[in-house]
Amino acid sequence: MIIPAFAVGRTQEIVFRLDELANEGRLPPIPVYVDSPLAVNITEIFKAHPECYDEPLKAYIADDPNPFGFARLTYVRDVEESKRLNASRLPMVILSASGMCEAGRILHHLRNNVAEPRNTILIVGYCAPHTLGRRIVERQKEVRIFGEPYPLRAHVEVMNAYSAHADEPELVQFVGHQDAARLQKIFLVHGDPAAQVALAEAMVEAGYARPVAPARGESFEL
């Protein structure tokens, strides 16, 4: 299983969930690798600052003092060790950056695994249009990696529950703290077009002037 994951935040969240599964005896006895030097460094920072954990995680570490480590988990920094993962045909889970599959070691892991039907690619984050991650999400028959075409035969699973962005109700609630009479203009500069339209309609229903979704190159005088 290949899991493209952002190095900051997302990787640590996935590792924590795997740690929970390991403690519950629900994780198959196969090795798990975090193959991203940046993600490894960021995880060390997470470990060093338990005072920043939320209450559920503080309660969790009362029984498990290391929520980012378990017996079968290995953090990989060394390039040669990363290459050995690509050469192996044993069952394993690999978390690697970047989350949208546009750069980093994840490209090497995908190149070596996308064509094999026995493999799974688990997408756990938003992938913007025109990225390799989005092409995998769309389950295109063929994807280009390092400029070369590869058949996408691996099984693809998408989990949207890990999105770190506020959803529509949360964004409307956030804007709801502003005085509609004083708020002159709202600009929507992030998100897919269909999602922007839905958010704009929700804000209108909440009593605000319809937001503007600027087009590329469009300018406004404030």
14-45: per-residue pLDDT in tens?
999 999 999 999 999 999 999 999 999 999 99
Which region among 123-127, 179-183, 217-221 has the lowest average model confidence (pLDDT)? 179-183
pTM of the model: 0.83
Percent of the chain past pLDDT 70, that is, above it, reads 100
Would you say residue 89 has pLDDT above 90? no
User: So what's the pLDDT on residue 54?
Assistant: 93
Percent of the chain past pLDDT 90, that is, above it, reads 82
User: What is the fold, at CATH topology level, of the domain defined by 2-162?
Assistant: Rossmann fold (3.40.50)
State residue 187 phi and psi, 5-degree precision. Answer: -110, 130
Per-residue pLDDT tens over the stretch 176-192: 998 888 888 999 988 88
